[in-house]
Amino acid sequence: MPNLLLLASGAGLIAATAALCVQAGRRADHRLYAGLVSIAVTLSLFSVVTWAATAIAPWPFIWVFVGALALLFALRLYRELRVPLPGERSL
């Protein structure tokens, strides 16, 4: 289990680095940047929360529960970070 958490936090670090490179280039779409940032934040947060949750209660459904919450968090963060297209209504 710790290896999977280390892999998730490493993927978050890679996504954060890619987001910084995309932002520095200023050529990419803002939605790509928002997606990379939401992936980086979600994976980092997911690894910490999952580590704490499995330390308290090491049941398999904890992974499913925290994974579902992480997915919902990532989608909400992406919606908040992206710039709406012209004519698109903001939620």
Contacts of 36 (CB under 8 A, 6+ apart): 15, 16, 18, 19, 22
Contact 49, 66 (CB under 8 A): yes
- The per-residue pLDDT for 55 is 85
Q: Where are the domains of the chain?
A: 2-81
* pLDDT at residue number 19: 84
> Cα–Cα distance between 68 and 26 in angstroms, integer?
33
pLDDT computed for residue 85 by the predictor: 63
Q: Which residues does the chain have with pLDDT short of 50?
A: none
Which tokens sit at 27?
């050529």
Would you state the structure tokens that stand for residue 42, as one six-digit string? 């979600």
pLDDT value of residue 5: 77
Read off the pLDDT of residues 55-70 as tens digits, 9 standing for 90 and up. 888 888 888 888 888 8
**pLDDT of 46:** 85
